[in-house]
């Protein structure tokens, strides 16, 4: 039987250090811009968002939104469906969308266009990971955690078939990875 494993790519320590830097930067950039609202895109960004807001020193409010695009595969469809909309009015607010990963950028492009129609005072993006070589659209990503190569990654909120979000670090797997039955040893 084939031994499956997760190849570590970004350690929990490296993630924590980078998220801290992003929080410091946002705190500086938005010091004179209130109110600040961070919108987490569910489900992938929930761990990143939880760590990021604790690294932000200025007053900040949070909301969530869920759009679906991928299904259970590893390829982007570009089809977006709003599964859960925001529960607050963002007009007049300085909004930062917190994304787990920007792959083709198709998902975020749809989210951005929709949010612009709600008249935020400003709208920016913070993405933990960006596959910049693969991005099909030219995005103004103001804050990037890590720029990564074009391959499929999991962990720290990112899933494969709904699993592996609980991995404390970012790693890569092969498409035949048995996510539903894999038990982490450490
Ligand atoms: P995009 O529309 O191609 O930018 O896809 C964005 C969404 O696809 C992300 O928010 C993730 O939910 C998912 N995604 C893209 N690449 C990966 C990956 O490498 N691992 C896990 N999820 C991914
Ligand atoms: Mg996502």
**pLDDT digit string, tens, across residues 38-52:** 999 999 999 999 999
Q: Which of 137, 30, 13, 12 is nearest to 38 (CA)?
A: 30
DSSP-based three-state secondary structure for 38: strand
* CA distance linking residue 95 with residue 34, whole number of Å: 10
Say what the pTM is: 0.93
What is the Cα 10 distance to its own chain's centre? 15
Q: Of 49-58, 114-123, 129-138, where does mean pLDDT reach its minimum?
A: 129-138
Among protein residues, the one with the nearest Cα to ligand 1's atom 5 is 103
Q: pLDDT tier at 76 (50, 70, 90 boundaries)? A: low
63 assigned to active site: no
DSSP-based three-state secondary structure for 70: coil
Q: How far is the CA of 44 from the centre of ligand 2 (A)?
A: 5
Residue 133: predicted pLDDT: 85
Residue 159: predicted pLDDT: 97
- Residue of 148 and 4 predicted with greater confidence: 148
Pair of tokens at residue 44: 């992938």
- Indicate the average pLDDT of the chain: 92
Give the angle subtended at the CA of 138 by the CAs of 134 and 142, to the nearest 5°: 100
Cβ count within 10 A of residue 97: 22
The H-or-E segment that residue 67 falls in is strand 61-68
Task: Point out the ligand nearest to the CA of residue 101.
Answer: 1
**pLDDT digit string, tens, across residues 135-156:** 777 778 999 999 999 999 999 9
Q: How far is the CA of 46 from the centre of ligand 2 (A)?
A: 10
Pair of tokens at residue 20: 């801290």
Q: How far is the CA of 159 from the centre of ligand 1 (A)?
A: 9
Atom of ligand 1 nearest to the CA of 107: 2
Residues with CB under 6 A from ligand 1: 44, 69-70, 76, 99-108, 152-154, 158
Domains recognised in the chain with CATH numbers? 11-68+76-150 (3.40.50.2020)
Tell me 118's DSSP state. Answer: T
Per residue in 23-48, is it b (16+ CB within 10 Å) or e — as a string?
beebeebbeeeeebbbbbbbbbbbbb
């Amino acid at each position: 039987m084939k031994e499956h494993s997760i190849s570590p790519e970004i350690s929990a320590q490296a993630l924590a250090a980078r998220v801290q830097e992003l929080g410091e930067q946002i705190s500086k950039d938005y010091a004179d811009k209130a109110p600040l609202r961070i919108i987490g895109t569910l489900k992938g960004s929930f761990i990143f968002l939880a760590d990021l807001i604790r690294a932000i020193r200025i007053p900040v409010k949070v909301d969530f939104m869920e759009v679906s695009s991928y299904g259970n595969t590893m390829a982007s469809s570009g089809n977006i469906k709003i599964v859960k909309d925001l529960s607050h009015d963002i007009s007049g607010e300085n909004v930062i969308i917190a994304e787990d990963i920007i792959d083709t950028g198709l998902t975020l492009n749809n989210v951005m266009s929709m949010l612009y129609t709600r008249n935020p005072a400003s709208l920016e993006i913070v993405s933990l990971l960006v596959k910049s070589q693969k991005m099909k659209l030219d995005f103004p990503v103001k804050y990037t955690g890590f720029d990564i190569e074009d391959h499929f990654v999991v962990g720290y909120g990112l899933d494969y078939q709904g699993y592996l979000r609980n991995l404390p670090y970012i790693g890569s797997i092969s498409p035949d990875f048995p996510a539903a039955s894999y038990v982490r040893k450490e």
